[in-house]
Chain A
Amino acid sequence: DAGVIQSPRHEVTEMGQEVTLRCKPISGHNSLFWYRQTMMRGLELLIYFNNNVPIDDSGMPEDRFSAKMPNASFSTLKIQPSEPRDSAVYFCAAGVRGLHDTEAFFGQGTRLTVV
């Protein structure tokens, strides 16, 4: 398996534009996470899906952010409209949810710059 695949790797966009980040998780992994990483706030959990259903979206910053997982092999994180403060590295992680815990495997991230 190629692991978690994120696209694009880098995105530069102008303030106000819509941005869509994509993630292809590992086949058979039943959980999917979106994290945002910045120097100031570290690694923040944005949203967590289990079996394609959103379980916890309390970390989504505001209504400008939305995430979908239409099937087990694809997820998107959309920002509309984008703002400079959204500049960060966004990670998708695929998880194996067991009885007691979830172990996650990360993609290489998308570095988003909003100018």
Chain B
Amino acid sequence: GDSVTQMEGPVTLSEEAFLTINCTYTATGYPSLFWYVQYPGEGLQLLLKATKADDKGSNKGFEATYRKETTSFHLEKGSVQVSDSAVYFCALSEEQAGTALIFGKGTTLSVSS
């Protein structure tokens, strides 16, 4: 079945550093891919989304490109801030394969000033 694999955390960075969080997926067809973010004590919020190969999702300085050839959707940000400290989840949805929405295990990002 469909699945999502994320890099293990935690990721610890200094402010203004470059961020990459790796995500790869397994799917039977052509899923949509998502990044969600969870701040302490809150539910998950959609950060960005891509629905087909080579699409780039972007929001709040974060971006991720849907790479079908490598089945990846890595999250990047050029310069992180302390306020970016949170848990980041990669997810996929593939309605035609019966996969509503499944998540990776999450990667904790901690940014220090």
Contact = CB atoms under 8 A, between A and B. Distances in A.
Interface of A: 4, 31, 33, 35, 42-43, 45, 48, 50, 55-56, 91, 93, 95, 97-109
Contacts, number: 71
B25 interface: no
A91 to B, nearest CB: 6
Contacts of B95: 97-102
Contact of A45 (B42, B45, B102): B102
Given A42-B103, A45-B102, A101 B93 contact: yes
A1 B89 CA distance: 25
Interface in B87-101: 89, 93-96, 98, 100-101
Contacts of A50: 100
B100 A56 contact: yes
A51 B105 CA distance: 28
Given A100-B32, A107-B43, A108-B42, 8 more contacts: A4-B43, A45-B102, A91-B43, A101-B95, A102-B93, A102-B100, A105-B46, A109-B43
A99 B104 CA distance: 23
